[in-house]
Structure 1
Amino acid sequence: MSTPTPLDRWGERLPRRLGLWSAVAVVVGSTIGSGIFRTPAAIAQRVDDVPLFLLSWVLGGAVTLCGALTYAELAALFPRSGGIYVFIREAFGPLPAFLFGWAELLIIRPGAYGAISITSAAYTLRVLGLDPAATAVSVAGQAVRAEQLLAALFVLLVAVVNYVGIHRAAIVQNVSTALKVGALALLVVLGFALGGGQGLGAGAMLAQRAAVGLSPFLLAMVAILWAYDGWGDLAFVGGEVKDPQRNLPRAMFIGTGSVVALYLAANLVYLHLIPIQRSTAR
């Protein structure tokens, strides 16, 4: 009979193999996704005023940074795997934590991963010249679209990668994060270097002023916070981070700050290339 792995001084049995930059990659990789490509156009339909459009992204970034810094304090205090579950259990007891854990398993995560995987599948199929809405298979008389089938395969692939071990998963996370950041950074650089847009000039910004009500602005903030979502995922693997009381807060701050800066740059280049009125066209 094997001897159980002893607890470390924070009460965690899992091996701590994630260094600072692997932890940063978890934050950045969990945050950057389809949202930054799909959300700006939807937000422009509600906030078609350039200064307010940019302000909404700055405000969303500020809220996100506040949340990340709060998480950083909690993660350093309770550096164990489980994330919000651990925080709720320590603050309110086992019952609220138990209820949250099941809600996370059955509702929150499946909903989020479903939306993300469907978007990823749709973009992948379009790049390949295929119709995402085309019927791939039929199960019990129910048509399954190509994007749904590919999305399920994406979720399964990620699950397998995480199942084989933290070391291999960290390598995949680091590589995929580098590719996403590199692609988005390249888009920003080429957009400003080669684009001939004048959407950010003073005259253009004044010409694109428009009245925006409070309700559309708040609805836009919901979409922006969704695009920024993912920064808290590092806390769920806090029990696998080396020197957690030092690395968890630093990774939260570096990762979230980098994403906020990159998102703001991406939106600036979008406006530089495409006037906001064209962004709102359906």
Structure 2
Amino acid sequence: MATSPPSVRSGSPAASPSELPRQLGLWSAIAVLVGTTIGSGIFRSPAGIADKLPGPLPLMAVWATGGLFALCGALTLAELAGAMPRTGGYFVYIREAWGRLPAFLYGWAEFTLIRAAALGGISLTFAQYALRALGFDPAVAPYDAYAHYLAAGALILMATINVVGLKWGSLVQNVTTVAKYGGLVIIVLLAFSLGLPKTGGYFTPAVPPGSFSVSAFGLALVSVLWAFDGWGDLAKVSGEVADPRRTLPKAIVLGTLAIIAIYLLANLAYLSVLSVEEMRRAPLVAADVAQRLIGPVGVTLVSLTVLISTFGSVNGSLLTGPRIFFAMADDGLFFRQVASVHPKFQTPYIAIIMTGALGVAFVLLRSFEQLADIFVTASLVFYILSIGAIFKLRRRPDWNPPVRTPLYPLVPALFCLAVLFLLGNALMDPAQRVPTLGVFGVILLGVPVFYLTVGRKG
């Protein structure tokens, strides 16, 4: 890892030789956020959540809680991103508030765990739905293995598109976002117009005996957060957003509200057609709902929606994630070459290629459940540091954000306390304790790596 000084020091207004052009407008920025967030979670997580909370009210409550959690984070992020519209997002906020070691640990976790796990989990869901659309069962051999190879191929394709240019990646993101959001809206409308009149909905009894416990609620909330994660990804490409002080806060808040709305409506739609017990046995719940509503045509519709959704989410992750490594390298906390900008395409091509390669490695070696658990657990640690940065940064005399977090300090405090609860709940659960400690161990391994490499001059 390089130890050379960064081309732009913290807070400096000077331009970096490796600066990326600002090309994303408001709607493209919203598409990045929405498109990155709506991936596999809303189509895959409801079954596991219904298994942990087998009652309509607890099930809807955990989705609403996840939405509130995401909104608190987004409202805080709108202030941070508007005040510091720089490539890297969370990396920048952690570095500015807590210093270079915590910022390095965030980048280290992204490099070793978070980004590759996210790419692997989403691309694997894409591949499994693609095989199902072709008439093959991805749960049985040899198609279970083929799914991993197909996922790796999708990652390579999307990495290539993002290397060729931000405009191409942004175009893919805009198109897939409209398609996936529209697909979910169609499912909701069909469920309410065709399913609900026939079934009356499966909303009672609202809280059956044994359908709620604090521990189960916490574990289910982790799955909900997998579905909501992405509301912060736009911040990672802040350095490429046009008129960022106006665009970023609007895009972050509007995009997050749009996601909360469609997720709550989708779960109400599922409950309009399937009982909670049926949801528990439906890992591809949206396909089962569509099958019951309009037959095989519905399965095809949902399969296409999920394919587009996960394809767009992979693209969004490859559009945003590499910017973290780019920012780290530009600040001297990573291999200097990773901050290189392609002379023709004006993209951080080495960072994109490296991120795609990590995703391919993870998807070939891990299952979806392993990837999702790794991603959420590792991300929670740095949510606290990045959103909690607001408490320290607001003390700066030169702090001048275009918008301020409403109900401060309650909103960011609520977010951080919720994250602490989730981490504590994972450590208390015997089944999650060892994997959680394993993730912490990998993150802490970054401390000696820092002092042996880029931290020697610090």
Cα 1:167–1:281 change in 2 (3 A) is closer
Output one character per residue of 1:145-199: Cα deviation in whole Å (capped at 9) or x when no partner.
1000011011111111111111111111100111111111111111111112222
Output one character per residue of 1:82-110: Cα deviation in whole Å (capped at 9) or x when no partner.
11111111112222212321221221101
Counterpart for residue 76 of structure 2: 70
Counterpart for residue 135 of structure 1: 142
2:94 maps to 1:92: no
TM-score (norm 1): 0.89
**Aligned-partner Cα distance in 1 for 2:109–2:214:** 31
Give, in angstroms, the shift of residue 210 of structure 1.
Answer: 3.0
**Aligned-partner Cα distance in 1 for 2:15–2:217:** 44
Q: Which amino acid aligns with 2:204?
A: M
Counterpart for residue 251 of structure 2: 251
Pairwise mapping of residues 2-17 of structure 1 onto structure 2 (< 5 A)? 9=13, 11=15, 13-17=19-23
Give, in angstroms, the shift of residue 135 of structure 1.
Answer: 3.4
The structure with higher relative contact order (CA 8 Å, sep 6+) is: 1
Output one character per residue of 1:256-280: Cα deviation in whole Å (capped at 9) or x when no partner.
1000000000000000000112222
For the 8 Å contact 1:34–1:119, the answer to whether it is kept is yes
**Aligned-partner Cα distance in 2 for 1:73–1:59:** 22
**Aligned-partner Cα distance in 2 for 1:206–1:10:** 62
Which blocks of at least 5 consecutive residues in structure 2 are unaligned?
1-6, 283-458
CA RMSD in angstroms, aligned pairs only: 2.1
**Aligned-partner Cα distance in 2 for 1:11–1:155:** 32
Output one character per residue of 1:53-91: Cα deviation in whole Å (capped at 9) or x when no partner.
111111110000011111111111110111111111111
For the 8 Å contact 1:10–1:80, the answer to whether it is kept is no
For the 8 Å contact 1:84–1:235, the answer to whether it is kept is yes
Counterpart for residue 204 of structure 2: 205
Which blocks of at least 5 consecutive residues in structure 1 are unaligned?
137-143
**Aligned-partner Cα distance in 2 for 1:247–1:99:** 29
Counterpart for residue 112 of structure 1: 118
Q: Which amino acid aligns with 1:238?
A: S
Output one character per residue of 1:112-158: Cα deviation in whole Å (capped at 9) or x when no partner.
1111111111111111112324337xxxxxxx810000110111111
Q: Which amino acid aligns with 2:200?
A: Q
For the 8 Å contact 2:37–2:228, the answer to whether it is kept is yes
For the 8 Å contact 1:10–1:79, the answer to whether it is kept is no
The percent of aligned pairs where both chains have the same amino acid is: 49
**Aligned-partner Cα distance in 2 for 1:257–1:40:** 20
2:27 maps to 1:21: yes
Output one character per residue of 1:219-241: Cα deviation in whole Å (capped at 9) or x when no partner.
11111111101111101100000
**Aligned-partner Cα distance in 1 for 2:276–2:14:** 51
Cα 1:131–1:92 change in 2 (3 A) is same
**Aligned-partner Cα distance in 1 for 2:220–2:89:** 27
Pairwise mapping of residues 223-242 of structure 1 onto structure 2 (< 5 A)? 223-242=223-242
2:262 maps to 1:262: yes
TM-score (norm 2): 0.56
